[in-house]
A and B are shown apart, each in its own frame.
Chain A
Amino acid sequence: MTSRSQGAQLDLAGTLVGIRRMAPLSLFVVVFGLAFGVAALSRGLSGLEAMLMSALVFAGASQFAALELWGPEIPLLPLIATTFAINARHLLMGAAIQPWLAHLPPGQRYGSVMLMSDSNWAMAAADHQKGETNIGMLVGGGIALWVTWLFGTLLGVVFGSGIQQPERFGLDVIMGCFLLSMLVGGRRDLSMLLPWGAAALAALAAMAWLPTHSHVIVGALAGGLAGMLLPPRKEGSP
Chain B
Amino acid sequence: MTLPASAAGAIAAIVIMALVTYLTRAGGVFAMSRVPIGPRIERFINAMAGSVLVAVITPMAIHGDWGARLALVATLMVMLTLQKPLPAITAGIVTAALWRLW
Give the B-binding residues of A (Cβ under 8 A).
28, 31-32, 35, 44-46, 49, 52-53, 56-59, 61-63, 65-66, 68, 70-77, 79-80, 82-99, 101-102, 109-110, 113-114, 116, 167-187, 192, 195-196, 198-200, 202-204, 207, 215-216, 218-228, 230, 232-233
Contacts and interface: CB of A to CB of B under 8 A. Distances in A.
Interface string B70-102: 011001100110010110110011111111110
Contacts, number: 306
Nearest to A72: B5
Contacts of A96: 28
A44 B10 CA distance: 10
Interface string B16-44: 11101111111111111100110111111
B62 to A, nearest CB: 7
20 contacts: A28-B86, A45-B10, A57-B14, A75-B2, A79-B13, A83-B17, A86-B53, A176-B75, A176-B92, A180-B88, A183-B54, A183-B57, A185-B79, A196-B50, A199-B54, A223-B50, A223-B51, A224-B45, A228-B47, A233-B43
Contact of A204 (B16, B62, B71, B88): B62
A184 B93 CA distance: 17
Contacts of A92: 28, 37, 42, 45-46
Contacts of B32: 94-95, 98-99
Contact of B29 (A66, A110, A220, A222): A110
Top-10 shortest CB links A-B: A227-B47, A223-B51, A219-B55, A94-B28, A170-B96, A177-B92, A224-B48, A170-B97, A199-B51, A56-B18
A233 B93 CA distance: 37
Interface of B: 1-5, 7, 9-11, 13-18, 20-33, 36-37, 39-62, 64, 67-68, 71-72, 75-76, 79-80, 83, 85-86, 88-89, 92-101
Contacts of A65: 52-53, 56
Given A28-B86, A88-B45, A94-B27, A216 B56 contact: yes
Given A73-B4, A90-B27, A177-B88, A225 B44 contact: yes
B53 A61 contact: yes
A84 B20 contact: yes
